[in-house]
Amino acid sequence: MTEKQRQLLANLYSARGHMAEHEPLAQHTTFRIGGPADVYLVPADEEQLAATIRLHREEGMRYQILGNGSNVLVDDAGIRGTLIHMEDKKSAASYRTEGSTVLATVSAGMSLSGFARDVCDRGIDGLAYATGIPGTVGGGVVMNAGAYGGEIVDSLREVRVLTKSGEALTLAAKELDLSYRHSVIPEKEYIVTQATFALAEGDREAIRAKVLELSAKRREKQPLEYPSAGSTFKRPTGYFAGKLIEDAGLRGYTVGGAQVSEKHCGFVINRGGATAADVKTLIGDVQRIVFERFGVKLEPEVRFLS
């Protein structure tokens, strides 16, 4: 990035938003791993985000998007170019009724689990499964996040996105080709800025009981006490990744500070001091050994950023 380009960004962020250079990214990822970003931006709103995208396009500058940092592994050398962090800790979801349907509209930068908890606390049904999913609403939409039999596609009504030219579009959920851990959003280079969910009033006590039940299951079965990126591999057709990894004898398998969780083999954890290189090596080893043993190719769910 040239000095002129840095100055253009500094001018754009001088009054609002946040800009930093050489920002350490380990503090912004749930793996607690990652080197610095050349330029780190947190836009104040959609207008500033759109202006940021247009500026990068006009200047031929490279940028990448980060949500809650919960499904990514950042390279030890960090990220070249700009990292745009889509975080929104201030705004709240808005609710309105449409007949018997409750429509909840939320910023893409909000915590998905926080939004889901707010929905459940209001006695609204449909998002109990998401109360423990790390990440932002936008990230959840991009990957059609799901757990315990529920997925974003089940209740998503529409999303607002920015195109790579900074144009705002409103798309119906059916236009996103949502399937298991997939949407068209990455291939079209869209940035989700807002999402609306179609939900329904429910029994508040029954919903609360469901949330408590799922929270207990997560604590019992997932290594929440260690930094990780959540489930490391996508579920291969006809199999469970964690079971394949366990049956391959890889429970507790370690490379440097990275380890296949002894609690749940579908998670790779940072036991302390793990590097991105450790995690990548471990993932590669797991993929190779599982394929040699069972002929099944494991595809990482984690995105690699550099």
Provide the annotated active-site residues. 181, 231, 301
For the record, the structure tokens of 192 come out as: 């989700």
Is residue 8 classed as helix, strand or coil in its secondary structure?
helix
Asked if residue 56 lies in contact with residue 99, where contact means CB atoms within 8 angstroms, the answer is no
In whole angstroms, what is the distance from residue 69 CA to residue 291 CA?
Answer: 29
Report the b/e string of 215-227 with b at 16+ CB within 10 A: eeeeeeebbbebb
Question: Residue 238 — φ and ψ, nearest 5°?
Answer: 85, 0
The strand pairing partners of 124, in sequence order, are 201
Vertex 235, ends 178 and 298: CA angle to 5°? 115
* Nearest-angstrom CA–CA distance, 256 and 272: 9
Coil, strand, or helix at residue 134?
Answer: coil
- Residues 6 or more apart from 178 whose CB is under 8 A from it? 144, 151, 152, 153, 156
First to last CA, the chain: 15
What CA–CA distance (Å, rounded) separates 228 from 273? 12
